[in-house]
Amino acid sequence: MRPYGLEAEQRREPLGVGERCPRLSWKLESDRRGAAQSAYQITAAERAADLDDPDRLVWDTGRRSSGDGLLVPWDGPALRSATRYHWRVRVWDETGAQAGAAQSWFETGLLHRDDWTAVWIGRDPALLPHVDPPADEDLPSPPLASPPLYLRREFHLARQPVRARLYATARGVYEPRLNGARVGDVEMAPGWTEYHRRLQYQTYDVTDLLRPGANVVAAIVGDGWWCGYVGFDPRRPAQHYGDRPAFLAQLVLDFADGSRQVVATDGNWTERPGAIRAADLLMGEYVDHRQHVPGWDLPGVAGFRPVAVLDTAPGPLVAEPDHPIRVTRTVAPVEIRRRGPGRYVVDFGQNLVGRVRLTVRAATAGHRIVLRHAEMLADGELYVDNLRRARATDVYVTGGDPVEVFEPRFTYHGFRYLEVADHPGELRLSDVVARVLHNDTPWTGWFECSDPVVNQLQSNIAWGQRGNFVAVPTDCPQRDERLGWLADAQIFAPTAGRNADVSAFLARWLRDVVDGQDADGAFRDVAPVVTLGREAAPAWGDAGVIIPWYLWRVYGDRRVLERGFDAMRAWVDHVHRHNPDLRWRNRTGNSYGDWLQVDVTTRRDVLATAYFAHSTQLVAQAAEVLGRHDEAEQLRDLHARIRAAFVDSYVGDDGTVEGGTQTAYLLALAFGLLPQRLVPAAVEHLAADIEKRGHRLTTGFVGVALLCPVLADHGRADLAYALLHQDRYPSWGYSIRHGATTIWERWDGWTEHAGFQSPAMNSFNHYSLGSVGDWLFGRVAGIDQTPSSVAYRELLLRPLPGGRLTWARAEQETARGRVACGWSMSDGRITVTVTVPPGSTAVLQIPTPDPGSVCENDAPAAGRPGVLGVEPFAAGVSLRLTSGRYTLTATAPDVVP
Ligand code: RAM
């Protein structure tokens, strides 16, 4: 058994950790059945070599009895700023024998206020009227503010530093540079947070970019979320944050003799506009290569003007705590069509989020190429109506070089199609490539099955996640919105956590959610808060309870509960205070109901009250985890009373739920609101509604997540599969049949009978309706955990053969290690293969009509190593397993297609 995947604060070898007591984690792997950790020891030192010298350790936990390697908080001496700590973990196995060891490092950021000497710099306000953006019909209207800043500072080094770090951030978005080279690979830094409360700085290792003699540290700074267009607010967002971009950075150089030199932003920096004449997240970027100053970020360049010091207080700086935005892959075009002289439509074959890189050859200077982006085509031309005010247009003016490469920096678009207009020559497939960007959350999940349509669904879900985990979890990436809508995030979080490690990303965004909470305890519909100032709607505000609970359950992140608990509690108290009769009818904000449901209307008070009960129950559970037993007791009592009120007001003696919609039943069943005796009848009513509609759904954002799970958990897997395989409108399959490569916002985004939905709200890349992804992993393949398990400590493996599928399998890199579950059926046998990581146990339920038929290698399963028990359960056999890999077979179940 050996530890691997070592992380500090949920990231591998992070630079610039801001936590005073960072938490260390590792995973385990072993081929041996029953392998488990019984103890660990962590040692840490400032030099890797010192890990072997007990006298030079800065921290030694000694041998600690524990089965977990999950988020162990540093409890050694106080950490120093800007210091690398190497650490090693050693583990002992279940027999008490010493097993493997592994090592890693993390580096602290600037932990103290007075570590910062930098001040905010920007363009001298007196110069602003003299640097107009270019007048061009393809620029956004109303015109953007002044062009991005090109900032530089020359300095001299007597010798080579042994270590150099750049700590930087912007009011705006920035790209750092050193001696003519780009620093790092982070895009759209510093990301988007509730800037008035927290502004993230990034840390870069720049040791290799420096040299003795003259050096230049530089940056380009654009408007970004700080002062560009954000959301659907038509105002320039000076109203949100500020009216002009600014930059703050500190280059810290350490020399072999222990001395230190700091180059920080101050009045000695200089500035001028450069090739990027305008840049905006929604509108696009305008680059005039003729304005490029060669070598502008190298020593000895003239023509720059002094900057102004805009602010001497650094502000609420925090170290970036999660994976930054990066370009994670490129996508080549599948087709280019010429639509007129110099005008081409490029198809990338995939709705994606990022921007294009265009290579232009041998154009004369001053040639103006216009790039527009769209998700869909109409009659072979870009369909851009649904982008609303987002112009998503990039302009590149050639500089006359033999080969020029254009890629915008400070904008991103959601698109599958690109129009290149006024291209000077023949546009070839190799001249253009799409660059995909998003927060670089490590990919941790893989699902596959025998049906290509379901695999396409999984692919669409994954692309929706990539495209919308950009700075914050956004609703959509293309139109003038891109906001951190709370319901979308809570509905999709369980699916997101299957595909990728979203622990640090969501925990960071939750701070924005909490920052947006008002004094009465109400969250807002979006975080960071822009435009939408009212209290959040039911199922929207509840994200502030559901997501922390989710991060605890799936990642074992207790700190997120500790820090979030008061806010969670305040939210439930807020709803309670305004709804003393326990039906949530007051203070429902914009009450969106079951948003974008079809053909039906789920009653808002039914949905709201169900969510009130659900959130109250989760806060009670969180209180229990945190040892706040009295509060837990009160909340359990409140939950029981809300549940009684729900039944009293909305549930009939025959198991009907008020309104009779699929979502009304799903909420009542999923949240456990019905008396047990009424559950079978409620399931029948739900099933009858689906059947009467010819196996079609009516659910919107809220209900859809519950649809397949509730059906499968109540003996109607046949209907869950019928919905999964449905390809008539409305269904997932319908969009796929019509070429969808992402999840659409609306079931009727485009239909044969009505064409495009209203362009006022019609995104083709919205992940909410893709929340079924959790069920693909959790039931179709079968990876789940028992209700009391945390971070997959006790797996619940429940493969569910059904529908057209002959096999399915999933793998997940969990916080403890690799989990796998898959099944296949042939020749009257079902074969199930599972992987249980060291330290975990599993309850594996194999559906089979013949409990005695379960074998491994032709031997009865009972008595095989690692098999702790075999018992019949309703539809098959339940096995208790220790860690290890298993391949079991049994008589195949009868599956009604
Ligand atoms: C839309 C957003 C989002 C949804 C809200 C209610 O504008 O796209 O997805 O949560 O409305």
Answer yes or no: is the C-beta of 532 below 6 A from any ligand 1 atom: no
pLDDT interval class at 128 (50, 70, 90): low
- Asked if 539 and 525 count as a contact pair (C-beta separation under 8 A), the reply is no
Q: How far is the CA of 218 from the centre of ligand 1 (A)?
A: 39
Question: Which stretches of 651-716 are DSSP H helices?
Answer: 662-670, 679-692, 701-713
Q: What is the C-alpha to C-alpha distance for residues 286 and 45, in angstroms, rounded to an integer?
A: 49
Q: 């209203």: which residue's tokens?
A: 758
Q: 């897997």: which residue's tokens?
A: 717
Active site residue 404: no
Q: Is it true that 326-439 and 785-891 share their CATH fold? A: no
Averaged pLDDT, 176-194: 98
**According to the model, what pLDDT value does residue 484 have?**
98
Strands (E), 163-198: 163-171, 173-178, 181-182
Q: What ligand 1 atom has the least distance to the C-alpha of 487? A: 10
Q: What is the C-alpha to C-alpha distance for residues 861 and 848, in angstroms, rounded to an integer?
A: 14
pLDDT digit string, tens, across residues 22-80: 999 999 999 999 999 999 999 999 999 999 999 999 999 999 999 999 999 999 999 99
Question: Quick one: tokens of 15?
Answer: 């630079």
Catalytic member of 9, 107, 481, 535: 481
Q: What is the C-alpha to C-alpha distance for residues 612 and 538, in angstroms, rounded to an integer?
A: 8
Q: Which amino acid is at 315?
A: G
- Asked if 447 and 810 count as a contact pair (C-beta separation under 8 A), the reply is yes
pLDDT interval class at 142 (50, 70, 90): very low
Answer yes or no: is the C-beta of 491 below 6 A from any ligand 1 atom: no
Question: Which residue among 595, 702, 764, 771 has the greatest number of ligand 1 atoms within 8 angstroms of its CB, and so is best to mutate?
Answer: 595
Antiparallel, parallel or unpaired: β 368-374 and 393-397: antiparallel
Query: Which residues, 6 or more positions from 149, have their beta carbon under 8 angstroms from its beta carbon?
Result: 122, 123, 219, 220, 221, 245, 247, 271, 273
pLDDT interval class at 532 (50, 70, 90): confident
Residue ranges of domains in the chain: 2-107, 116-322, 326-439, 785-891
Averaged pLDDT, 763-778: 98
Q: Is it the case that residue 133 has pLDDT exceeding 60?
A: no
Q: Is it the case that residue 776 has pLDDT exceeding 60?
A: yes
Q: What is the C-alpha to C-alpha distance for residues 723 and 711, in angstroms, rounded to an integer?
A: 10
Q: How far is the CA of 475 from the centre of ligand 1 (A)?
A: 6
Q: How far is the CA of 562 from the centre of ligand 1 (A)?
A: 30
- Asked if 565 and 627 count as a contact pair (C-beta separation under 8 A), the reply is no
Averaged pLDDT, 145-155: 92
Residue nearest (by alpha carbon) to ligand 1 atom 2? 475
Answer yes or no: is the C-beta of 488 below 6 A from any ligand 1 atom: yes
**According to the model, what pLDDT value does residue 448 have?**
98
Q: Which fold has domain 785-891?
A: Maltose phosphorylase, domain 3 (2.60.420)
Q: Is it the case that residue 141 has pLDDT exceeding 80?
A: no
**According to the model, what pLDDT value does residue 235 have?**
67
Q: How far is the CA of 526 from the centre of ligand 1 (A)?
A: 9
Helical (H) or strand (E) element with 311: strand 308-311
Q: How far is the CA of 718 from the centre of ligand 1 (A)?
A: 32
Q: What ligand 1 atom has the least distance to the C-alpha of 540? A: 10
Q: Is it the case that residue 140 has pLDDT exceeding 90?
A: no
Neighbours of 752 (CB within 10 A): 9
Instruction: Of 321, 318, 417, 262, give the one whose Cα is nearest residue 111.
Output: 318
Looking at the structure, give the CATH architecture of the domain made up of residues 116-322. Answer: Sandwich (2.60)
Question: Quick one: tokens of 792?
Answer: 């997959």
Q: Is it the case that residue 847 has pLDDT exceeding 90?
A: yes
Answer yes or no: is the C-beta of 232 below 6 A from any ligand 1 atom: no
How many alpha carbons fall within 13 Å on the CB side of residue 586?
Answer: 9
Residue 148 main-chain phi, psi, to 5 deg: -50, 155
pLDDT interval class at 436 (50, 70, 90): very high
Answer yes or no: is the C-beta of 487 below 6 A from any ligand 1 atom: yes
Q: What ligand 1 atom has the least distance to the C-alpha of 766? A: 9
**According to the model, what pLDDT value does residue 522 have?**
98
Q: Is it the case that residue 132 has pLDDT exceeding 70?
A: no
Average pLDDT score, the chain: 96
Superfamily classification of domain 2-107: Immunoglobulins (2.60.40.10)
Answer yes or no: is the C-beta of 119 below 6 A from any ligand 1 atom: no
Question: Which residue among 232, 472, 479, 485 has the greatest number of ligand 1 atoms within 8 angstroms of its CB, and so is best to mutate?
Answer: 485
Answer yes or no: is the C-beta of 476 below 6 A from any ligand 1 atom: yes
Residue nearest (by alpha carbon) to ligand 1 atom 5? 485
In CATH, what number does 326-439 get? 2.60.120.260
Antiparallel, parallel or unpaired: β 317-319 and 199-205: parallel
Q: What ligand 1 atom has the least distance to the C-alpha of 537? A: 6
Measured CA to CA in angstroms, residue 413 lies from 374, 463, 644, 832 at distances of: 8, 14, 48, 43
Q: What percent of the chain has pLDDT over 90?
A: 94
Q: What ligand 1 atom has the least distance to the C-alpha of 768? A: 9
Q: How far is the CA of 766 from the centre of ligand 1 (A)?
A: 9
Q: How far is the CA of 601 from the centre of ligand 1 (A)?
A: 17
Instruction: Of 815, 193, 198, give the one whose Cα is nearest residue 557.
Output: 815
**According to the model, what pLDDT value does residue 452 have?**
98
Answer yes or no: is the C-beta of 481 below 6 A from any ligand 1 atom: yes
Q: What is the C-alpha to C-alpha distance for residues 498 and 445, in angstroms, rounded to an integer?
A: 5
Which residues is 473 bridged to in the sheet?
A: 469
Q: What is the C-alpha to C-alpha distance for residues 257 and 117, in angstroms, rounded to an integer?
A: 22
Answer yes or no: is the C-beta of 485 below 6 A from any ligand 1 atom: yes
Q: What is the C-alpha to C-alpha distance for residues 154 and 142, in angstroms, rounded to an integer?
A: 36
pLDDT digit string, tens, across residues 787-827: 999 999 999 999 999 999 999 999 999 999 999 999 999 99
Catalytic member of 9, 29, 271, 745: 745
pLDDT interval class at 236 (50, 70, 90): low
Question: Which residue among 472, 474, 475 has the greatest number of ligand 1 atoms within 8 angstroms of its CB, and so is best to mutate?
Answer: 475
Q: What is the C-alpha to C-alpha distance for residues 169 and 179, in angstroms, rounded to an integer?
A: 19
pLDDT digit string, tens, across residues 252-287: 999 999 999 999 999 999 999 999 999 999 999 999
Answer yes or no: is the C-beta of 539 below 6 A from any ligand 1 atom: no
Answer yes or no: is the C-beta of 475 below 6 A from any ligand 1 atom: yes
Q: Is it the case that residue 134 has pLDDT exceeding 80?
A: no
Q: What ligand 1 atom has the least distance to the C-alpha of 763? A: 8
**According to the model, what pLDDT value does residue 243 have?**
86
Answer yes or no: is the C-beta of 280 below 6 A from any ligand 1 atom: no
Q: How far is the CA of 61 from the centre of ligand 1 (A)?
A: 48
Q: How far is the CA of 730 from the centre of ligand 1 (A)?
A: 19
Residue nearest (by alpha carbon) to ligand 1 atom 4? 485
How many alpha carbons fall within 13 Å on the CB side of residue 88?
Answer: 20
pLDDT interval class at 363 (50, 70, 90): confident
Residue nearest (by alpha carbon) to ligand 1 atom 3? 475
Q: Is it the case that residue 304 has pLDDT exceeding 50?
A: yes
Strands (E), 407-488: 413-421, 432-439, 445-449, 469-470, 472-473
Q: How far is the CA of 746 from the centre of ligand 1 (A)?
A: 11
Answer yes or no: is the C-beta of 543 below 6 A from any ligand 1 atom: no
Q: What ligand 1 atom has the least distance to the C-alpha of 232? A: 7
Q: What ligand 1 atom has the least distance to the C-alpha of 476? A: 8
Q: What percent of the chain has pLDDT over 70?
A: 97
Answer yes or no: is the C-beta of 594 below 6 A from any ligand 1 atom: no
Answer yes or no: is the C-beta of 665 below 6 A from any ligand 1 atom: no
Answer yes or no: is the C-beta of 764 below 6 A from any ligand 1 atom: no
Measured CA to CA in angstroms, residue 513 lies from 414, 484, 527, 862 at distances of: 25, 9, 5, 50
**According to the model, what pLDDT value does residue 897 have?**
53
Residue nearest (by alpha carbon) to ligand 1 atom 9? 475
pLDDT digit string, tens, across residues 103-112: 999 999 999 9
Residue nearest (by alpha carbon) to ligand 1 atom 6? 592
Averaged pLDDT, 674-684: 98
Q: What ligand 1 atom has the least distance to the C-alpha of 475? A: 9
Answer yes or no: is the C-beta of 595 below 6 A from any ligand 1 atom: yes
**According to the model, what pLDDT value does residue 233 have?**
79
**According to the model, what pLDDT value does residue 685 have?**
98
**According to the model, what pLDDT value does residue 127 have?**
78
Active site residue 752: no
Rama region for 34: left / alpha / beta (φ>0; ψ in -120 to 50; rest): left
